[in-house]
């Protein structure tokens, strides 16, 4: 078997695995919706008949099904990215980031967060996918700076060896670089749920989107000194 045949076979296997994963995750959605619906009915119509302990159990079921629902949606999104057709177009990252920042500030007007967004960041790529990646990165920075009295979130670009390297940087919780090698894998989290909510799919989604554009993602951080996620777009 020559190299081209091996590559074609490998691509076919990967496509088959992605299709299976999508089907499996999609099939989990309906029973989860059913469990969630029944828990809500119990809470709304029957909680008054239950002791305090029983009401607490219903609350735990609702919390768990909500978390599982978000996890399933994240996995479905991750699966779709692998099969998505890349439609390249002009995408204004500056405008998109400003829109995301304004929405976040409206949701939490009490937070003292300074956004520094570089002007003129227009790239060539799939607008829908890049919007998703940028939103995840900025929302992550927003989340991981939430325990600081003030925060700074920056979107910019540097030229390195003739290639544009875009970055989202913050001065939040950061993470221990000793554990960074697995950061872009699904379900990997470097912070406990008691510290920050999340399902460990966000950065894996970003990584997959960037790879679909022929680019790479790098992460650097200092504990309580912030994090920087850098990415290229194969331009």
Say whether both 153 and 226 belong to one domain. yes
Q: How many CB atoms lie within 10 A of CB 151?
A: 20
Mean pLDDT, residues 140-158: 95
- The 10s digit of each residue's pLDDT in 98-132 is 999 999 999 999 999 999 999 999 999 999 999 99
Residue with the larger pLDDT of the pair 155 and 183? 155
How many Cα atoms occupy the beta-carbon half-sphere of 45 within 13 Å? 6
Q: Which of 83, 99, 125 is the last residue of a domain?
A: 83
Same domain, 74 and 94: no
> Residue 131 sits in which domain range?
88-231
What pTM did the predictor assign? 0.76
148 in the same domain as 49: no
Helix (H) or strand (E) holding 117: strand 112-117
Considering only the C-alpha atoms of the chain, give the largest distance between any 2 of them, rounded to a whole number of Å.
70
For residues 92 and 79, membership in a common domain is answered with no
Question: Is there a contact between 160 and 171 (Cβ–Cβ < 8 Å)?
Answer: no
What per-residue confidence (pLDDT) applies to 95? 97
Judgement on whether residues 75 and 97 belong to the same structural domain of the protein:
no
**Quick one: residue 126, left, alpha or beta (phi over 0 = left, psi -120 to 50 = alpha)?**
beta
Q: How many domains are contained in the chain?
A: 2
Instruction: Please report which residue ranges of 90-232 form alpha helices under DSSP H.
Output: 93-107, 127-144, 202-212
Secondary structure element (H or E) that encloses residue 36, with its range: helix 3-41
The reported pLDDT for the residue numbered 168 is: 97
Do both 10 and 77 map to the same domain?
Answer: yes
């Amino acid at each position: 078997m020559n190299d081209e045949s091996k590559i074609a076979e490998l691509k076919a296997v990967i496509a088959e695995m992605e299709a299976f994963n999508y089907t499996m995750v999609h099939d989990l959605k309906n029973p989860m919706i059913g469990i969630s619906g029944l828990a809500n009915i119990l809470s709304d119509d029957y909680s008054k008949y239950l002791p305090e302990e029983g009401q607490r159990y219903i609350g735990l079921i609702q919390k768990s099904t909500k978390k599982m629902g978000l996890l399933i949606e994240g996995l479905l999104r991750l699966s779709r990215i692998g099969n998505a057709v890349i439609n390249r177009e002009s995408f204004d990252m500056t405008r998109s980031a400003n829109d995301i920042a304004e929405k976040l500030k409206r949701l939490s007007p009490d937070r003292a967060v300074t956004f520094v967004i570089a002007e003129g960041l227009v790239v060539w790529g799939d607008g829908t996918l890049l919007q998703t990646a940028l939103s995840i990165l900025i929302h992550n920075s927003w989340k991981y700076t939430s325990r600081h009295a003030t925060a700074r979130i920056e979107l910019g670009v540097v030229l390195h060896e003739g290639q544009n390297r875009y970055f989202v940087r913050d001065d939040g919780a950061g993470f221990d670089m000793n554990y960074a090698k697995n950061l872009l894998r699904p379900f990997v989290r470097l912070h406990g749920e008691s510290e920050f909510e999340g399902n460990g799919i966000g950065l894996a989604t970003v990584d997959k989107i960037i790879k679909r554009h022929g680019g790479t993602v790098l992460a650097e951080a200092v504990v309580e000194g912030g994090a920087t996620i850098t990415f290229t777009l194969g331009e």
